[in-house]
Structure 1
Amino acid sequence: MTTWTFDEPTREALCAFLEARGIAPGAMVIAPIGDGHSNLTFRIDIEGRAVVLRRPPPPPLPPGSNDVLREAGFLAAVGGAGLPVPEVLATGETGAVFDVPFYVMGMIDGVVLTETRKAPLDEAAAAPAMAEALVAAMAQLHAIDWTRTTLAAKARPEAFNLRHFRIFRRMVDDGAGGVLPPYARIAAWLEANVPEPSGATIIHNDLRLGNVMWAPQAPARIAAILDWELATVGDPLLDLAYLVCSAPREGATHTPVQDLSAALIAPGTPEPAALVARYFALSGRAPADIAWYQVMVLFKLATLYRYSRLAGHDPYFVEEHEDRFLAEAAFYCRD
């Protein structure tokens, strides 16, 4: 977990910021939410009302990552189109309270699951329902007409797959125009097989079990989709591949993101191929091979974990994680 805490001057500045925007005056009780491996999230209780604050961890940060104001923009856009997400209450630029930007959103009652199931979704039958709900939410997200939202002005879906690959290839450049040895074979395969985008939709880019809040009563129902920091407008098959790559398979070796979705392991939970088929049925999109997108997702995760490991803020990130992602990526590479 990234270690960062509120000092007294920061607490006072935040209290003044919230009061000035009519959110909640009074004494605050602040507690971290989640593991803090990416953006930092805090619950703030103020005289009977709870809100949530999101801010980046201390720098250095991966290029283009942790843009919380951009994240807030996606929340506002998809929330306005009916997707279940928290309401954005306020945004703050660098210097407004912290030395980084941040935003404040409404608190939603629910439960977040990762490695294990817990009440009210502790029954084994809940896992298949959660998997189905994740696929249905993705199809709903991809059906939003992004051209009619505030995202249209800045979206660049053209040549998305090639640009996306090049962003993460640069992160493992060897300094001489090549790629670091553990990444070289997979990078070469990706570059040689870049597909034309299958279309352009809003994609979450991190839609997995641990980034969803479930309603506080059975049956399984998504109360909110969280963590939109990687969202963009791009190829929906990349989003689908991420969801599939984060789904653990019973009896198989798991990547770190699959470890964080182990609560989905139960009798009756659809296999990855069934999740893919269900997505195409719900979305109405033509079925397609997603192998390139799966390799891209795993390559990207390896590079991001490497960057975070080298930044040294969080002991969670270790070299073994990168190796596991790259081994899984090699499995999907097809000549």
Structure 2
Amino acid sequence: MLTLKHLFQNNDLAEMIMKNWSYDPESLDMFQYYRISSNAVYPFRDQGEVRLLRFAPVEEKNQVNLSAELEFLRYLRTNHYGAMEVVPSHSGTELVKAHTPWGTYYASVFKRVPGSQLGSIQLNDSILYSYGQALGELHQLSCIFKPEQEEKRRWTYTDVLNWMQEVLKDFPAETAALNEVEFLRRYFVNWPMNKHNFGLIHYDFELDNVFYDEGNQSCYAIDFDDSMYHWYAMDVEQSLDSLREEIEPEQYDQKKQLFLSGYWSKAGERYDLESMFPACRRFANLYGYVRMLRSVAEQWSHEPEWMSGLRARLERIMTEKAAKFGHPI
């Protein structure tokens, strides 16, 4: 999540950055449907086709990670996987470093994927099975993915733990969170790691980041911004956690098995995935906590009402997450 000061709508900034690509000038009214979280995303049209401009301040992002994300997307599409397609800029680059009066930003443009967000439609058994298949196929492709330059690969779960440790240095009172970092670092050292259970994951394969196209009865994934090298169980646990929020409790076990059946139909040889879920949940809980902590750290004397409300909501979520630190797995 971006720091709160970057969550303001700025149509002038978006339009300035968008000039690096072709667009229909009359489509600027689509900016009203913007969203900002880990990035700012502004929709527009080019020759009538919907495109998505994504950008974030350079101090909030890692250029190697962004370039690696785009490389992985090209790989997935080359292998006919349903993922976002990147649109090159006027200069032919997929990642633009844009200098503006508001600062310097990394930006890319993507074509809109077909279908509807899984979080906005009725999840029947066929769609749930397809959802699991989409994640299984993603992991199967990840098993054989080799980045063009090893030194420019996406960061790993270890890098993420190191990043969290660095962030927490600015918060000396956060001893419980720091202890959680060290606990997970030691815990993961003992896990088996091979090409069948560890690789480049999506990390955020939740219902709002997967679209289902009724026409071809298949799923399309978006928002690979949080990708990292981790155990595939991390993706599965995150997906099931997202599913749990949308399914009636008495239906969850049956829907979970549908998802997992779809997953294993594409992922390859089965292994004990579910025993890894508790530690994966601990990792996601801590990572979410540290990102929110960093986001809300800076405060201003005259914050708009929406920001004060968001800050209060994030602080409530952080309290819930902190209560889970230190528990045995």
Q: What TM bracket, shorter-length normalisation?
A: 0.7 to 0.9
* Structure-1 separation of matches of 2:258 and 2:181: 27
Map 1:27-176; keep pairs closer than 5 Å: 27-29=26-28, 30-31=30-31, 33=33, 35-56=35-56, 58=57, 61=60, 64=62, 68-90=66-88, 91-95=94-98, 99-114=104-119, 117=120, 121-122=121-122, 126-144=123-141, 145-148=143-146, 150=148, 154-155=152-153, 160-173=156-169
Identity of aligned residues (%): 13
Structure 1 position 41, deviation (Å):
1.2
- Which residue of structure 2 lines up, in the alignment, with residue 196 of structure 1? 191
* CA gap 1:182/1:233 in 2 versus in 1, 3 angstroms: closer
In structure 1, which of residues 305, 321, 331 is the aligned counterpart of residue 292 of structure 2? 305
**Aligned runs of 1:127-276 on 2, under 5 Å?**
127-144=124-141, 145-148=143-146, 150=148, 154-155=152-153, 160-173=156-169, 180-194=174-188, 195-199=190-194, 200-215=198-213, 217=214, 221-222=218-219, 224-248=220-244, 262-265=245-248, 268-270=251-253, 274=257
Secondary structure at 1:263 match in 2? coil
Does the CA contact (< 8 Å) of 2:140 and 2:266 recur in 1?
no
1:11 aligns with 2:15: yes
Once the 2 structures are TM-superposed, how far is the Cα of residue 43 of structure 1 from its aligned partner?
1.2
> CA separation in 2, counterparts of 1:13 and 1:172?
33
- Report if aligned partners of 1:241, 1:297 keep a CA contact under 8 Å in 2: no
Distance in 2 (alpha carbons) for counterparts of 1:204 and 1:55: 19
SS at the partner of 2:236? helix
TM-fit CA distance, 1:88 = 0.8
- The alpha-carbon deviation at position 102 of structure 1 amounts to 0.9
Determine which of 298, 323, 326 is the counterpart of 2:319: 323
| 1:101-122 superposed Cα distances (whole Å, 9 cap, x missing partner) | 21112123322254xx4xxx33
> CA deviation digits over 1:275-322, x for unaligned, max 9?
785445652242142122221121111111222222569653521111
TM-score, with structure 1 as normaliser: 0.72
CA offsets per residue over residues 165-213 of structure 1, 9 Å max, x none?
Answer: 333233223666xx71342553343234223353332211111111112
DSSP 3-state at the match of 1:108: coil
Which sections of structure 1, spanning at least 5 residues, go unmatched?
A: 249-261
Q: Structure 2: which 5+ runs fail to align?
A: 89-93
SS at match of 2:54: strand
Tell me the CA shift for residue 265 of structure 1: 4.0
What is the SS of the residue equivalent to 2:71? helix
Post-superposition offset of 1:272:
8.9
Contact kept in structure 2, 1:205 and 1:230, CA below 8 Å = yes
Q: Distance in 2 between matches of 1:311 and 1:77?
A: 39
Give me the whole-angstrom Cα distance separating, in 1, the residues matched to 2:45 and 2:97.
23
> Is contact 1:55-1:100 (8 Å) kept?
yes
Count matched residues: 298
Tell me, what secondary structure is at the counterpart of 2:243? coil
1:65–1:229 contact (8 Å) kept in structure 2: no
* Residue aligned with 1:193, SS: helix
Tell me the SS of whatever aligns to 1:102: strand
> Aligned-pair distance for 1:87?
1.3
Distance 2:66 2:154 in 1: 19
CA distance in 1 between counterparts of 2:324 and 2:217 reads: 30
Whether contact under 8 Å (1:112, 1:212) holds in the other structure is yes
